[in-house]
């Protein structure tokens, strides 16, 4: 059996730059220069600022901490960082409850330090992406405080979604809707009205039918763009516009309305794209244009619109992270996603871990989650491992999880498109499962007692050194407790150690820059159902063995491998890159 010259079942994507180019689906990509298209195949590293590096020892990661680790990021070889929210926040949802969109939380830094951080990263050629949270603000936001102080029906209330309650005295919520974090989606205020929050009660939803809200976000986008930010990650991009005409549907009715048609009252409505068309004008008024990526948990066929050049430009592909470690499942997602990217003219994105899901080293070491991926927002997120319930840690096979995670990461980093990496995955970090209840912070834990452990386990501050206070995170205790095993996963423990996960990422990211050309791949037959192989232009072959039996690699130079290649055989649950 040989790998050579066989099936080419899929070619997708577009030329990265240069002249007009018609891809196989017939879409035409306008000529672009690389300053404007850096994002198409970028490796973007997500920093969760409170848990990355703490420069002043108060237990909370900060901008000075990020500045101090710029050499680490440079050596890692990423193209951009995406910062989760660092704005003033009471932390009801890890910073996704923003009290002021145009400032830095004083516990994290100052605007001057933000500018210094951007300069330090730009100095190393690393782009900066910040998180925009437009669906809801914090209840501490000045507008929500004004809304509370104002009367029902007032302009201040019209910036959010207030309704009278039901029942003779209005003491029942307008509907029985549940929030994504569990519990009711409506909360009552002192004068008896109720406001809508799809997430925590501290996260009131904005009324996007109000032009004032629209204008304010345009100003926020300009504010950060003017400070040199290169792009934006858009939180819950599929929820902003809502059809809340009376009578409102019940929870059961709401759940039964199909989500893929653009007219669901809440999720993924067609009219949300009017907002992004306006944003696009702001992005394109800068040189180079600012970029954006949508966090939109939508059905696959709905993704291209978010990713289109008239809209946000890129959208997260979460289908890979909802799959088990399985050859057929991985291939199907890649084939479909490249086709969808070609449809939108964007490049695909790939994600295996982020601050909302169980880290992939742990997911792949657990028995498959009992929940299937259904069609409601909750179902999709549960499928992605938002809920650790039902994933008993005593059944965790740590080394298997790590082995598979390394294989999946090398597979991901070889795909055409951009890879979004989450801080700590380059160390092979596992989820921290045993955080004591009293130390937990995530609202999903508090709002689903006994059911959901929440997302704190992937947000534990990074280990930089083998020992010392908070393993080099800072001079004091970390804001979430770190387990003893962090020592062996620290940057210090893995640096310079051949075969460590950190060195594998460093090598792969360096090679990726060198090998990456056009956004295309060609599948290569392997003769085994549990082995995938694909070739990128220029003779860059990637082989992933999802099975157990070793697989004889074809002739060529093994550039990097996630497991030990002996006598030309790729071990089970491993990936190799081969130059042919």
- Interface with ligand GLC (CB under 6 A): 93, 96, 133, 199, 235-236, 295, 355-356
89, containing H or E segment:
none
Report which of 55, 544, 579, 568 is spatially closest to residue 326, judged by C-alpha positions.
544
Smallest distance, ligand GLC to C-beta of residue 19, A: 38
Residue 377, binding choice from ligand GLC, Ca ion, none, Cβ under 5 to 8 Å by partner class: none
Smallest distance, ligand GLC to C-beta of residue 388, A: 15
CA 102 to CA 577: how far, in whole Å?
44
113 binds Ca ion (CB under 5 A): no
Residue nearest to ligand GLC (CB): 96
Residue nearest to Ca ion (CB): 62
Contacts with Ca ion, 406-445, as mask; x by CB under 5 A: ----------------------------------------
Residue 199, binding choice from Ca ion, ligand GLC, none, Cβ under 5 to 8 Å by partner class: ligand GLC
Residue 479, binding choice from ligand GLC, Ca ion, none, Cβ under 5 to 8 Å by partner class: none
Compute the residue count for the chain: 580
Residue 274, binding choice from ligand GLC, Ca ion, none, Cβ under 5 to 8 Å by partner class: none
- Contact predicate 53/464, CB 8 Å: yes
Given the complex with Ca ion, which of 60 and 254 has the nearer CB atom?
60
Could you give the angle at which helices 501-515 and 398-413 cross, rounded to 10 degrees?
10
Alpha helices in 298-326 (DSSP H): 303-307
CA 529 to CA 551: how far, in whole Å?
12
CA 290 to CA 126: how far, in whole Å?
14
Residue 96, binding choice from ligand GLC, Ca ion, none, Cβ under 5 to 8 Å by partner class: ligand GLC
Instruction: Identify the residue among 56, 210, 465, 507 touching Ca ion (CB under 5 A).
Output: 56
452 binds Ca ion (CB under 5 A): no
Given the complex with ligand GLC, which of 185 and 508 has the nearer CB atom?
185
62 binds Ca ion (CB under 5 A): yes
Smallest distance, Ca ion to C-beta of residue 328, A: 46
Residue 383 CB-half CA count within 13 A:
17
Alpha helices in 414-565 (DSSP H): 443-446, 491-494, 501-515
Across the strands, what pairs with 579? 540, 557
Instruction: Identify the residue among 58, 158, 271, 475 touching Ca ion (CB under 5 A).
Output: 58
Given the complex with ligand GLC, which of 290 and 447 has the nearer CB atom?
447
47 binds Ca ion (CB under 5 A): no
First to last CA, the chain: 17
Cis peptide leading into 366, omega within 30 of 0? no
Parallel, antiparallel or unpaired: strands 186-188 and 531-536: unpaired
Instruction: Identify the residue among 50, 52, 53, 54 touching Ca ion (CB under 5 A).
Output: 54
Given the complex with Ca ion, which of 54 and 452 has the nearer CB atom?
54
Sequential DSSP letters for 33-80: -HHHHGGGG-EEEEE-GGGT--SSSSSS--HHHHHHTHHHHHHHT-SE
Smallest distance, Ca ion to C-beta of residue 60, A: 4
- Contact predicate 560/572, CB 8 Å: no
Residue 356, binding choice from Ca ion, ligand GLC, none, Cβ under 5 to 8 Å by partner class: ligand GLC
CA 174 to CA 196: how far, in whole Å?
9
Residues that bind Ca ion (CB under 5 A): 54, 56, 58, 60, 62
């Amino acid at each position: 059996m040989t790998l050579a010259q066989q099936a080419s079942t899929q070619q997708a994507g577009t030329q990265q730059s240069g002249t007009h180019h018609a891809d196989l689906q017939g879409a035409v990509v306008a000529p672009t220069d690389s300053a404007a298209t850096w994002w198409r195949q970028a490796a973007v590293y997500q920093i969760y600022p409170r848990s990355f590096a703490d420069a002043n020892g108060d237990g909370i990661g900060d901008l000075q901490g990020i500045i101090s680790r710029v050499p680490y990021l440079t050596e890692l070889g990423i193209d951009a960082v995406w910062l989760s929210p660092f704005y003033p926040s009471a932390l009801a949802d890890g910073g996704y409850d923003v009290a002021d969109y145009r400032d830095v939380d004083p516990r994290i830094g100052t605007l001057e330090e933000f500018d210094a951080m951007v300069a330090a990263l730009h100095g190393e050629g690393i782009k900066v992406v910040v998180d925009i949270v437009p669906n809801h603000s914090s209840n501490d936001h000045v507008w929500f405080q004004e809304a509370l102080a104002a009367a029902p029906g007032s302009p201040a209330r019209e910036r959010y979604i207030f309704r009278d309650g039901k029942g003779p005295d209005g003491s029942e919520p307008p509907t029985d809707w549940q929030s994504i974090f569990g519990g009711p989606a409506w909360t009552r205020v002192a004068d008896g009205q109720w406001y809508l929050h799809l997430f925590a009660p501290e996260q009131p939803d904005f009324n996007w039918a109000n032009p004032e809200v629209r204008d304010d976000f345009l100003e926020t986008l300009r504010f950060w763009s003017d400070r040199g930010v290169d792009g934006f990650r858009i939180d819950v991009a599929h929820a902003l516009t809502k059809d809340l005409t009376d009578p409102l549907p019940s929870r059961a009715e709401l759940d039964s309305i199909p989500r893929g048609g653009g007219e669901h009252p809440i999720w993924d409505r067609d009219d949300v794209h009017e907002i992004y068309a306006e944003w696009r004008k702001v992005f394109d008024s800068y040189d180079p244009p600012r970029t954006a990526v949508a966090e939109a948990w939508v059905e696959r066929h709905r993704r291209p619109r978010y990713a289109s050049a008239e809209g946000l430009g890129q959208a997260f592909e979460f289908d890979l992270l909802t799959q088990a470690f399985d050859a057929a499942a991985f291939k199907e997602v890649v084939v479909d996603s490249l086709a969808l990217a070609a449809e939108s003219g964007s490049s695909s994105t790939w994600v295996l871990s982020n601050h909302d899901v169980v880290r992939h080293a742990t997911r792949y070491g657990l028995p498959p989650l009992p929940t299937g991926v259904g069609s409601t927002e909750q179902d999709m997120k549960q499928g992605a491992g938002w809920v650790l319930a039902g994933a008993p840690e005593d059944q965790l096979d740590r080394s298997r999880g790590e082995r598979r995670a390394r294989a999946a990461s090398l597979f991901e980093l070889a795909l055409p498109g951009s890879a979004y990496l989450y801080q700590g995955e380059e160390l092979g970090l596992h989820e921290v499962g045993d955080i004591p209840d009293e130390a937990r912070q995530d609202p999903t834990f508090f709002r689903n007692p006994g059911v959901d452990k929440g997302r704190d386990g992937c947000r534990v501050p990074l280990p930089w050194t083998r020992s010392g206070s908070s393993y080099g995170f800072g001079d004091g205790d970390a804001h979430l407790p770190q387990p003893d095993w962090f020592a062996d996963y620290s940057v210090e423990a893995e640096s310079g150690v051949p075969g460590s996960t950190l060195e594998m990422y460093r090598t792969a990211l360096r090679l990726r820059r060198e090998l990456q050309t056009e956004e295309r791949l060609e599948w290569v037959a392997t003769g085994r159902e549990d082995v995938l192989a694909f070739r990128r232009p220029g003779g860059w072959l990637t082989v992933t063995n999802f099975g157990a039996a070793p697989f004889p690699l074809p002739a060529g130079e093994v550039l990097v491998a996630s497991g030990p290649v002996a006598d030309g055989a790729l071990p089970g649950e491993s990936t190799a890159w081969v130059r042919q």
